[in-house]
């Protein structure tokens, strides 16, 4: 029988709460206030509202202050930019989260890029991504950074490994590749249009599935003993981007869906917000 490890993001996030709570208390004692996250929610997308609510709850459990700014569907790009400017200037706010997606008439990239680099705790600005790619200081996008933290927790080294990232989004696939490169992995980027995906899956030591299509990858195509990170979650089908049937006979480690990558994303948002307050006050 194959020996494998379940990369339990839920358990790690739960364990890490104590450490984050301690840091929050120390900051409050030293600086007179807790770390603070401002979330902006535009429109009435129910999934976005649920995500923001989950983030608020997780912050409260750790002692991080949250404030949610709700704008209606008719909100313009200029109105949103004005709100971001106000939050950038507010010295009591350490992190700004603009919940994706915003209504189509809003210039989302322009709004993301208006967020001050030192408050970009969700890792969405192009400058932050550029810094990350160049190995400079930046807040990493929460899902890929959460994945790196989870690999580190389980002592899975990326150095010298062939890492395949299936997906190329601005907040997951592309920054994931940069982080793996920074960790000395050899990287390949694939996506839904890649012709020889099965050949790549068969040679990769680490596979990050982030393509956003239910059961897009058959786990039986993976290399024996490889590490699988499934960053997808499709609530209607209760599955990720990988068909997990037979997974334990193939891999050496994998993330369950749900309970793997998802909890790490919110935990990393809080981690980044606390780090932002530390940076802002330590110069």
The residues assigned a catalytic role are 55, 99, 122
CB 208 within 8 A of CB 198: no
Q: How many CB atoms lie within 10 A of CB 58?
A: 19
Of 162, 138, 158, 139, residue with least CA distance to 148: 158
Pull the structure tokens for residue 40: 């902006």
Half-sphere exposure in the Cβ direction for 48 (13 Å, CA): 19
Structure tokens at 42: 């535009």
Question: CA torsion sign, 165 to 168 to 120 to 55?
Answer: negative
Element (H, E) at 176: helix 173-182
Tokens of 37: 């996250």
- CB of 226 closer than 8 Å to CB of 251: yes
């Amino acid at each position: 029988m194959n020996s494998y490890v379940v990369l339990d993001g839920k358990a790690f996030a739960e364990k890490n709460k104590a450490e984050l709570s301690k840091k929050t208390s120390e900051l409050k004692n030293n600086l007179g206030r807790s770390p603070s996250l401002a979330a902006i929610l535009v429109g009435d997308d129910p999934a976005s509202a649920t995500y923001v609510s989950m983030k608020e709850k997780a912050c409260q459990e750790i002692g991080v202050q949250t404030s949610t700014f709700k704008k209606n569907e008719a909100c313009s790009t200029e109105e949103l930019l004005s709100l971001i400017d106000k939050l950038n200037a507010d010295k009591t706010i350490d992190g700004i989260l603009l919940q994706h997606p915003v209504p189509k008439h809003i210039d989302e990239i322009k709004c993301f890029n208006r967020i001050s680099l030192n408050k970009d705790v969700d890792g969405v600005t192009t400058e932050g991504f550029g810094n990350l790619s160049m190995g400079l200081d930046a807040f990493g996008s929460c899902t890929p950074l959460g994945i790196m933290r989870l690999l580190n927790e389980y002592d899975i080294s990326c150095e010298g490994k062939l890492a395949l990232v299936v997906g190329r989004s601005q907040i997951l696939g592309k920054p994931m590749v940069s982080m793996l490169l920074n960790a000395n992995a050899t990287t390949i980027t694939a996506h839904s249009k890649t012709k020889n995906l099965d050949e790549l899956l068969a040679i990769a030591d680490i596979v990050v599935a982030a393509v956003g299509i239910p059961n897009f990858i058959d786990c039986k195509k993976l290399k024996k003993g490889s590490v699988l990170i499934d960053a997808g979650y499709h609530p209607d089908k209760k599955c990720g981007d990988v068909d997990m049937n037979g997974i334990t006979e193939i891999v050496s480690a994998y993330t369950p869906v749900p309970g793997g990558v998802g909890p790490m994303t919110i935990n990393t948002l809080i981690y980044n917000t606390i780090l932002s307050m530390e940076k802002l006050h330590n110069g």
